[in-house]
Amino acid sequence: MIRIGIMGYGNLGRGVEAAIAHNPDMQLAAVFTRRSPEDLKISTQGVPVYNCSDAKAHKDEIDVLILCGGSATDLPKQTPEYIQYFNVVDSFDTHANIPEHFDAVNAGGIASGKLGLISCGWDPGMFSLNRVYASSVLPDCTTYTFWGKGVSQGHSDAIRRIEGVKDARQYTVPVSEALDRVRSGENPQLSTRQKHTRECFVVAQEGADKARIEKEIVTMPNYFADYDTTVHFISEQELKEKHSGIPHGGFVISGGKTGLSGEYNNVIEYSLKLDSNPAFTSSVLIAYARAVYRMSKDGKKGCITVLDVPPAYISPLSPEQLRKSML
Amino acid sequence: MIRIGIMGYGNLGRGVEAAIAHNPDMQLAAVFTRRSPEDLKISTQGVPVYNCSDAKAHKDEIDVLILCGGSATDLPKQTPEYIQYFNVVDSFDTHANIPEHFDAVNAGGIASGKLGLISCGWDPGMFSLNRVYASSVLPDCTTYTFWGKGVSQGHSDAIRRIEGVKDARQYTVPVSEALDRVRSGENPQLSTRQKHTRECFVVAQEGADKARIEKEIVTMPNYFADYDTTVHFISEQELKEKHSGIPHGGFVISGGKTGLSGEYNNVIEYSLKLDSNPAFTSSVLIAYARAVYRMSKDGKKGCITVLDVPPAYISPLSPEQLRKSML
């Protein structure tokens, strides 16, 4: 049994707990929280909850610690800190800061002899794998990543910060015409606006100026200004009934040539359709926790990513079973 | 530069030669043939052609030898033989015999200190990877593999062996209704007949009994009897004009649940649309030749498959570049 610790019991932490239940070789050993442990009720019976400040004392009870905090402020501190005592997996997803985060975690792991796998999930994660596989097999290919249809928490939060907004939910939607052009092997040049639209469902406070709210949304730099954005004002009740899920997904599509003079076209497509973004992300984290456990046992230390893991290491099946049933 | 040798200069061997031209870190070092070397014209200028019986003498000129023979009779002999002298990659695709082939190649590699990667290409190969990734991330998932639309050489050959048939081309076609059901997350039970149809284009010899030929095709055990098969009789000219390509492709689709009580559905789909089956297969072989070269330098020997290779090893980019640009 691989003994898993969860650091942080939000959407992702609860997802990891659920994912462990789907993996018979895994066992939840402890949950760590910033809150008072007595105040936290978890779903799994008989598993201790500790304050995160006590984590170090439990290092011998845990094979892999899954860090379920956010990329903005939690993980840049937590992952280098906890790799002093634990093998760790995180879902750090600030793409631009990955090299810096990698170096910090790597230095910590080299010093402690522990192994950390960062930036795990589906993007970065499964989508990264597909970008690397496609571009390695078809060196001249163009790879496109589309997200959605799905809820963007960052964009929903940005709307909620506007004066007069009570609640909001933002969906990122890939443009189907763009998808079709990419799938045709045409390798088009696509602007930000041509790839995705943004659809916003907004609950306004009573008496708020909806026209001003809508204008503030659609002109917001970085978040909305470069997209075709539609805004729907709905009731709090409707938001709760129709938009309380956290679905997501997307597409990685690569078009490239083969043949002596590039005479053959090829299209490689990978897609995800997920009812719950955090539940799926957690499932990826747990599969890679298995790999971290095994690679650490092999003597590997420092920092790795999904790109460094042989696929067989994430499977509960043995190499013999995999060759027989999956190859 | 990674020095590549090609053993066997058929469709696949020519594909490998073309794939090398798309990879600046690769160089074609020699082609080996069963024919008289003088009779073989290859596309790359200045590269020697040798008889396969002389291969051993050139072992120090080649980093990885790609074995481009067939799975029925060539590879079961060639791969264990040539791993005595070379790092090798093959595309052995008789699924049921993979464990036996693996053991033979592994024993050879352990003895010689060389590394062999077997069953490379897209199925087995890229499709195997996707079966393993999906079933590891979603342990309860059901995975479906569909092939086509594409030319099956084995089925085309089977038709050509019927009396009165001059030439033939057979397409395997996935049933779109079945694809839609799988994509919906329904996880249906599908019979062989429900998954694929078979479409045959046949050139009959003059005066041949077309009704008898058609009946022999559609009732042929294993090849056609379990499928809905349509037969079109066409002219030799039309076969040449419209059916001389070797396109192929297919889909690996997995549906599985996440959440504490399996309340969330997830669909993972991977698909390939290839103008030329051998040209794409060769591109995969060459990407994995890069991995074999690197893993052999790391001291790895014996036999591996795509499931044992960290994705970063098949990319021409450095780990730093990959983390920065692909993760």
pLDDT band at residue B94, thresholds of 50, 70 and 90?
Answer: very high
Q: Which two tokens stand for residue A297?
A: 């046992």
The CB density around residue B218, as the number of other CB atoms within 10 Å, is 17
pLDDT band at residue B282, thresholds of 50, 70 and 90?
Answer: very high
| Parallel/antiparallel/unpaired status of strands B64-67 and B150-151 | unpaired
Whole-number Å distance between alpha carbons of B114 and B104:
13
Give the model's pLDDT for residue B103: 98
Q: Does any CB of chain A come closer than 8 Å to the CB of residue B299?
A: no
Distances (CA, A) of A114 to A75, A80, A303: 17, 11, 9
How much is the average pLDDT of B198-211?
98
Restricting to B residues 236-275, those with a Cβ less than 8 Å away from any Cβ of A are 257-260, 262-275
Q: How many CB pairs under 8 A join A and B?
A: 222
How much is the average pLDDT of B211-222?
97
Quote the crossing angle between the two packed helices A98-112 and A74-82, to the nearest 10°: 20
Give me the DSSP letters along A117-128: E-S-SBTTBHHH
Closest CA to A182 of A255, A257, A256: A255
The CB density around residue A304, as the number of other CB atoms within 10 Å, is 25
- Phi-psi category of residue A305: left, alpha or beta, with phi > 0 → left and psi -120 to 50 → alpha: beta
How much is the average pLDDT of B231-258?
97
* Sequence-distant (≥ 6) Cβ neighbours of residue A171 within 8 angstroms: A148, A149, A150, A151, A152, A198, A199, A200, A201
Q: What percent of chain B has pLDDT over 90?
A: 99
Q: Which two tokens stand for residue B120?
A: 């490379």
Residues of chain B contacting residue A314, judged by C-beta atoms under 8 Å apart: 132-133, 136-137
Give the chain B residue nearest A183 (alpha carbons): B273
How much is the average pLDDT of B313-323?
97
Give the model's pLDDT for residue B137: 98
Contact B258 A119 (CB under 8 A): no
For B283, the closest of A17, A130, A138 (CB atoms) is A138
Contact B311 A129 (CB under 8 A): yes
Contact A259 B276 (CB under 8 A): yes
Q: What is the pTM of this model?
A: 0.97
Full strand arrangement of the beta sheet holding B142-147: A142-147, A248-258, A264-274, B264-274, B248-258, B142-147
Instruction: Check if the beta carbon of residue A110 is closer than 8 Å to that of residue A295.
Output: no
Classify burial at A42, counting beta carbons within 10 Å of its beta carbon; exposed 0-12, middle 13-18, buried 19 or more. middle
How much is the average pLDDT of B243-260?
97
Contact B282 A258 (CB under 8 A): yes
* Sequence-distant (≥ 6) Cβ neighbours of residue A134 within 8 angstroms: A141, A143, A252, A254, A256, A268
Whole-number Å distance between alpha carbons of B9 and B283:
15
How much is the average pLDDT of B291-316?
98
Contact B258 A275 (CB under 8 A): yes
Give the model's pLDDT for residue A299: 98
Restricting to A residues 187-246, those with a Cβ less than 8 Å away from any Cβ of B are none
Residues of chain A with pLDDT under 50: none
Contact B327 A133 (CB under 8 A): no
Average model confidence (pLDDT) across chain B: 97
Give the chain A residue nearest B264 (alpha carbons): A275
List, for residues B133-160, the tens digit of each pLDDT value.
999 999 999 999 999 999 999 999 999 9
Q: Does any CB of chain A come closer than 8 Å to the CB of residue B186?
A: no
List, for residues B31-79, the tens digit of each pLDDT value.
999 999 999 999 999 999 999 999 999 999 999 999 999 999 999 999 9
CA angle, A160 then A166 then A172, to 5°: 45
